Chain A
Amino acid sequence: MRLTVSADAVRLTIPALALTLLLAAVFWLQPRAMSYIGLNLLFNLAVPIALATIAQMLIMAVNDLDLSMGSFVSFVACVAATFLRDAPLVGTLILAGVVIVYSVLGIVIHLRNLPSIVVSLGMSFVWAGLAVLLLPAPGGQAPDWVRALMTMKPPIAPMAIVASIAIAILAHLIVMRSSLGVVIRGVGGNERSVERAGWSVLATRAGAYGLAGIFAVLAGIALVGLTTSADANIALRYTLLSIAGVILGGGEFIGGRVSPVGAVIGALTLTLAGSFLSFLRISPDWQIGAQGAILIVVLALRLLLNRIESGETGR
């Protein structure tokens, strides 16, 4: 009993520790960030990233990888800033349609035994192309209800924090507690045994991709709610951010080992790392490199902790 608690805790310790440290550093550099508005500003952009990270995590739970996440979120943002505002019904239909497309991709990948990396890389160009067709130049406008939702001011904690917690709880319920989540992770862990138990791996993979599509759509809508307008390239860096977020949060590329709470924390950490570097007055030229350095340090820490842990339990 105690063992599992510690094993799970170790998985979450490092991302939580990294987040706390970064937050402390930011507060130290810029005490004014320690306020309702300050926190909201710091973590605002984390909400869509967290949603995209959860989407990526669902794909990674079945041992696949989605390289089209960034362009898909951009595309959704473009739809949200145009159709969803001007013709809500058409916009909703489009978004429902692309979720189905995501499911179909999962089916195709499974049936034809294709590498998900190749398929999603190809799809990334499709989404990017569609996004450019919709919005050749930056523009559009967020639907009012989305804008209102994202700029809401809940009483105790700022919206960014409340939303992150809500996302983490929702994803935890779906991925860790529900039967579907167990089977999805089971497919990642040992596809054959899931199949032998009589489950349809095809349906499970389609479900995982469909769920990922839903979370990615939410990410796009949330992003537009924050930026008020969209652009075909608005979220291109989400592909790598979402993968980094999953890994940072204790997930692994294969084996169905994922942690939704960790993934949200990972997304928050990545967002905060950017602000932290700005506060340090590091020139934007170096920021991406410095962000990478933070990532490496965190992952190295995790490796170290894993090693210590396995050394202890091995005795």
Chain B
Amino acid sequence: MTGNGSKAVIEVADAKVSFGAVKALDGVTLAIMPGECLGLVGHNGAGKSTIVSVINGGLTPHQGSICGDGEILARYGINAARARGVRCVFQELSLCPNLTVIENARVLHRHLGGFGWRTRAKEVVERSLDAVFPGHGIASDRTVGDLSIAERQMVEIAMAFSDAGTTPRLIILDEPTSSLDASLADRLLAHIRRFVAAGGSVIFISHILHEILTTANRIVVMKDGRIVAERPAAVWTEQSLVEAMGSVVKGEAHRRKARDLADAPVVVEQTGRGMPFRARRGEIVGLAGLAGHGQTRMLMKLHATASADWLPRRDPAIAFVAGDRRLNGIFELWSILKNLSIASLGDLAVRGVVNSGAETERAGEWKRRIEIRTPDMANRILSLSGGNQQKVLFARALSTRAPVVLMDDPMRGVDVGTKQEVYEIVRQEAAQGRTFVWYSTEMEEVCLCDRVYVFREGAIVAELAGDAVTEENILAASFRAEAA
């Protein structure tokens, strides 16, 4: 591998891809050298996922060429890419949930077949899991569907780094840390550094800028299907990256002012193990703690108690923004419009018949308000990028009249600009008396909340309010047992 040190592992030259009227890639030239970690940042819909698809062979560019190790690859496809050692971890989890970890390894490594493949697959996947996430505690004969979302992501990442015949040379990680908590993310970043130091290449896509800054050697900024900036990582700062992406981070200024909500009526209440949960009218309540410590279950419980069992209620009491949008968020076969209006069809209907005029109007209003990037709301939801799909889910919840909105880590894989827009909408809505219960794995978001409950081992262990909502306090509460 060191022999062709000067030649790019994969080089894409002047690639153009368009989906209908949308130009997903508008002449992108990108080369990935051996022994380098390339950071890729950009808005949702900037074309990151598209360039990834081109590199991994899933998408043939309508124009442009692909070279590998200096030679032009005329027939480049998934199998050709895999044969060259290109692996990809996708933004949405893409294992087979009905198969065990071992069987998923078999599906991923085509050449593992033959008698006794189970033993070989087990060895390959366990070696890689141990290398990337030491002490992971995942038994390789478990069914993937039974694993938590963080464990699934760990398995998927380990799969990409695993070596069964073809050595992985270029690994594309698209938002790999979105479901991992801080300590797991650190382990992954450390492994990326080791892998790169050993001569491997990584394309690293993340919206968590400091991860990119500390891990990548070179950072490429994309915008509207083009590369707008490319510099060594050392020259970048968080601020300059965000500026290059074209959206403005207000730093600490977006910290909301402490509001006195003590007199506001309590709208949601839940008691269980640990401290009781309470949310007042107009309050933004954060659920924090390490991923998978009962936050989502709490949201589900709140939703179940507040929503009607049999008959739909005239006035919706609660709306839910799903985090795992493939699992319980979007209707994949429906249009953007239908996906948006489904929660408020009751309001849009007259005597049981949906008023399509009002539906289109409302959809248009939300399209403007949160800038869903599509030429036509009648397009299928899957034509949108991940972040824009998430925006639609937000619009779905916010367009109802429900006084309480539950959010299950909805910003997973959403770019900085969109986040700022959504934060702003959340603040406005809260000021008008809506209550938000917000589970987030990102500290920045948790710090936006009026009050924060920290979860540990399925129960609330701490309540922080106002100025006490700080990263140190939350971390202290999440880790107390482990530290002692």
Chains A and B bind each other? yes
Q: Which residues of A contact B (CB under 8 A)?
A: 1, 3-4, 7, 177, 179, 182-183, 185-186, 188-190, 192-199, 255-257, 313-315
B110-149 toward A: CB 8 Å interface, digit per residue (1/0)? Answer: 1011000110000000000000000000010111001000
B53-71 toward A: CB 8 Å interface, digit per residue (1/0)? Answer: 0001010000000000000
B96 located at the interface, meaning its Cβ lies under 8 Å from any Cβ of chain A in the complex: yes
Rounded to whole angstroms, the CA-CA distance of A193 and B139 in the bound complex is 21
Stretch at the interface among B100-108, B336-344, B347-355, B472-480: B100-108
Contact of A182 among B90, B97, B99, B143 (CB under 8 A): B99
Asked if residues B146 and A183 are in contact (CB atoms below 8 Å), the reply is no
B88 located at the interface, meaning its Cβ lies under 8 Å from any Cβ of chain A in the complex: yes
Asked if residues A190 and B58 are in contact (CB atoms below 8 Å), the reply is no
The residues of A that contact B58 with a CB separation of less than 8 Å are 196
Between-chain CB contacts (< 8 Å), 10 pairs: A1-B141, A3-B146, A4-B141, A182-B107, A186-B99, A188-B96, A189-B97, A189-B98, A190-B97, A197-B108
Asked if residues A182 and B106 are in contact (CB atoms below 8 Å), the reply is yes
Asked if residues A3 and B139 are in contact (CB atoms below 8 Å), the reply is yes
Q: Closest CB-CB distance, B121 to chain A, in whole Å?
A: 9
The residues of B that contact A3 with a CB separation of less than 8 Å are 139, 142, 146
Contact of A7 among B78, B79, B97, B146 (CB under 8 A): B146
Interface residues of B in 223-247 (CB under 8 A from A): none
Asked if residues A199 and B107 are in contact (CB atoms below 8 Å), the reply is yes
What 18 additional pairs, Cβ within 8 angstroms, besides A1-B139, A186-B107? A3-B139, A3-B142, A4-B100, A4-B141, A4-B146, A7-B143, A7-B146, A177-B118, A182-B107, A189-B96, A189-B99, A190-B96, A196-B56, A196-B94, A197-B109, A198-B82, A256-B96, A256-B98
The residues of B that contact A199 with a CB separation of less than 8 Å are 107, 110
B157 located at the interface, meaning its Cβ lies under 8 Å from any Cβ of chain A in the complex: no
The residues of B that contact A257 with a CB separation of less than 8 Å are 98
Rounded to whole angstroms, the CA-CA distance of A185 and B79 in the bound complex is 21
Interface residues of B in 280-332 (CB under 8 A from A): 297
Interface residues of B in 376-421 (CB under 8 A from A): none
Asked if residues B113 and A190 are in contact (CB atoms below 8 Å), the reply is no
The residues of A that contact B346 with a CB separation of less than 8 Å are none
Asked if residues B142 and A182 are in contact (CB atoms below 8 Å), the reply is no
The residues of B that contact A185 with a CB separation of less than 8 Å are 96, 98-99, 103
Rounded to whole angstroms, the CA-CA distance of A186 and B99 in the bound complex is 7
Q: Closest CB-CB distance, B388 to chain A, in whole Å?
A: 19
B458 located at the interface, meaning its Cβ lies under 8 Å from any Cβ of chain A in the complex: yes
The residues of A that contact B106 with a CB separation of less than 8 Å are 179, 182-183
Q: How many A-B residue pairs have CB under 8 A?
A: 79
The residues of B that contact A186 with a CB separation of less than 8 Å are 96, 98-99, 103-104, 107
Shortest beta-carbon contacts, A-B, top 6: A189-B96, A189-B98, A193-B94, A256-B98, A190-B96, A186-B96
B95 located at the interface, meaning its Cβ lies under 8 Å from any Cβ of chain A in the complex: yes
Asked if residues A315 and B458 are in contact (CB atoms below 8 Å), the reply is yes
Instruction: Classify the interface of chain A: helix, strand, loop or mixed.
Output: helix
Take A185-B96, A196-B88 as given contacts and tell me if A4 and B107 are in contact as well, using a CB distance cutoff of 8 Å: no
Which residue of chain B has its CB nearest to the CB of A254?
B98
Rounded to whole angstroms, the CA-CA distance of A98 and B133 in the bound complex is 50
Take A189-B98, A315-B458 as given contacts and tell me if A194 and B107 are in contact as well, using a CB distance cutoff of 8 Å: yes
The residues of A that contact B113 with a CB separation of less than 8 Å are 179
Rounded to whole angstroms, the CA-CA distance of A177 and B118 in the bound complex is 8
Which residue of chain B has its CB nearest to the CB of A61?
B98
The residues of A that contact B146 with a CB separation of less than 8 Å are 3-4, 7, 313
Contact of B110 among A1, A190, A198 (CB under 8 A): A198
The residues of A that contact B96 with a CB separation of less than 8 Å are 185-186, 188-190, 193-194, 256
Q: Closest CB-CB distance, A306 to chain B, in whole Å?
A: 12
Q: Closest CB-CB distance, B14 to chain A, in whole Å?
A: 25
The residues of B that contact A192 with a CB separation of less than 8 Å are 94
The residues of A that contact B141 with a CB separation of less than 8 Å are 1, 4
Asked if residues A182 and B108 are in contact (CB atoms below 8 Å), the reply is no
Take A179-B117, A182-B106 as given contacts and tell me if A4 and B97 are in contact as well, using a CB distance cutoff of 8 Å: no
The residues of B that contact A189 with a CB separation of less than 8 Å are 96-99
Rounded to whole angstroms, the CA-CA distance of A116 and B42 in the bound complex is 41
Q: Closest CB-CB distance, B361 to chain A, in whole Å?
A: 33
Rounded to whole angstroms, the CA-CA distance of A315 and B110 in the bound complex is 37
Rounded to whole angstroms, the CA-CA distance of A198 and B77 in the bound complex is 9
Rounded to whole angstroms, the CA-CA distance of A193 and B109 in the bound complex is 12
Q: Closest CB-CB distance, B75 to chain A, in whole Å?
A: 14
Take A198-B82, A315-B458 as given contacts and tell me if A193 and B95 are in contact as well, using a CB distance cutoff of 8 Å: yes
Contact of A198 among B78, B100, B142, B143 (CB under 8 A): B78
The residues of A that contact B110 with a CB separation of less than 8 Å are 197-199
Which residue of chain A has its CB nearest to the CB of B113?
A179
Rounded to whole angstroms, the CA-CA distance of A269 and B141 in the bound complex is 29
The residues of B that contact A255 with a CB separation of less than 8 Å are 97-98
Q: Closest CB-CB distance, A177 to chain B, in whole Å?
A: 8
Q: Closest CB-CB distance, B222 to chain A, in whole Å?
A: 22
Take A1-B139, A3-B146, A183-B107 as given contacts and tell me if A314 and B95 are in contact as well, using a CB distance cutoff of 8 Å: no
The residues of B that contact A256 with a CB separation of less than 8 Å are 96, 98-99
The residues of A that contact B98 with a CB separation of less than 8 Å are 185-186, 188-189, 255-257
The residues of A that contact B112 with a CB separation of less than 8 Å are 179
Asked if residues A193 and B458 are in contact (CB atoms below 8 Å), the reply is no
The residues of A that contact B143 with a CB separation of less than 8 Å are 4, 7
The residues of A that contact B56 with a CB separation of less than 8 Å are 196
Rounded to whole angstroms, the CA-CA distance of A7 and B144 in the bound complex is 12
Q: Closest CB-CB distance, B78 to chain A, in whole Å?
A: 5
Rounded to whole angstroms, the CA-CA distance of A218 and B333 in the bound complex is 38
B17-53 toward A: CB 8 Å interface, digit per residue (1/0)? Answer: 0000000000000000000000000000000000000
Rounded to whole angstroms, the CA-CA distance of A188 and B107 in the bound complex is 12
The residues of A that contact B118 with a CB separation of less than 8 Å are 177
Rounded to whole angstroms, the CA-CA distance of A287 and B287 in the bound complex is 55
Rounded to whole angstroms, the CA-CA distance of A196 and B90 in the bound complex is 10
Rounded to whole angstroms, the CA-CA distance of A185 and B118 in the bound complex is 16
The residues of A that contact B107 with a CB separation of less than 8 Å are 182-183, 186, 193-194, 197, 199
The residues of A that contact B458 with a CB separation of less than 8 Å are 315
Q: Closest CB-CB distance, A130 to chain B, in whole Å?
A: 35
Asked if residues B97 and A196 are in contact (CB atoms below 8 Å), the reply is no
Which residue of chain B has its CB nearest to the CB of A181?
B103
The residues of A that contact B100 with a CB separation of less than 8 Å are 4
Which residue of chain B has its CB nearest to the CB of A195?
B78
Rounded to whole angstroms, the CA-CA distance of A3 and B140 in the bound complex is 11
Contact of A190 among B94, B109, B117, B142 (CB under 8 A): B94
Q: Closest CB-CB distance, B94 to chain A, in whole Å?
A: 4
Q: Which of B82, B88, B96 has the most A CB atoms < 10 Å from its CB?
A: B96
The residues of B that contact A197 with a CB separation of less than 8 Å are 78, 82, 107-110
Rounded to whole angstroms, the CA-CA distance of A314 and B117 in the bound complex is 32
Q: Which of B90, B100, B106 has the most A CB atoms < 10 Å from its CB?
A: B106
Rounded to whole angstroms, the CA-CA distance of A193 and B99 in the bound complex is 12
The residues of B that contact A193 with a CB separation of less than 8 Å are 94-96, 107
The residues of A that contact B109 with a CB separation of less than 8 Å are 197
Q: Closest CB-CB distance, B412 to chain A, in whole Å?
A: 19
